[in-house]
Amino acid sequence: MTTAMEIKQVLLVDDDSNIRILAQMGLEGLTDWKVELASSGAEALSKATETKPDLIILDVMMPGMDGPTTLGELRKVETLNDIPVIFMTAKAQTHEVELYQKMGAKGIITKPFDPMSLPDDIQGILSKG
């Protein structure tokens, strides 16, 4: 599997701690990526500014600032606006997928996901470009 970019640091944003644990386990267990966690859109913005991740995985449905809003905010910040973002959602209808992609998301991971194939799924999305 080849990717255009090398990932070292990933920011994972989800309000559900169980999902954070599971996804982190899959990613850190199977790859050499360092996974930083955030539990809300606001936390994601500050953590992203701090750590400058190579990839952000963003839950769509979150209380307060939801995923798309967070992406919008990220795009406003000059230093963060080219970080690739992948959405994670339990509801992915075709029109939504199109909408998210128009917003600049690289792709979508659907929930429920399999933690053991999560890294491959992400690589797959990134290599599609």
Among 5, 8, 21, 99, binds other proteins (CB under 8 A): 21
Should residue 111 be labelled a site residue for other proteins when binding is judged by CB under 8 A?
yes
Segment interacting with other proteins, rule: CB under 8 A, options 14-22, 50-58, 67-75, 94-102: 14-22
Residue 64: helix, strand or coil by DSSP?
coil
What the block records as the tokens of 91 is 């509801």
φ, ψ of residue 105 in degrees (nearest 5): -75, 145
Should residue 93 be labelled a site residue for other proteins when binding is judged by CB under 8 A?
no
The owner of tokens 């890294």 is 119
At closest approach, how far in Å is the CB of 75 from other proteins? Answer: 25
Query: Quick check: 98 and 127 in contact, CB under 8 A?
Result: no
Count of CB atoms situated within 10 Å of the CB of 117: 12
Instruction: Write out the residues near other proteins by the rule CB under 8 A.
Output: 16, 18-19, 21-22, 25-26, 29-30, 61, 89-91, 111-117
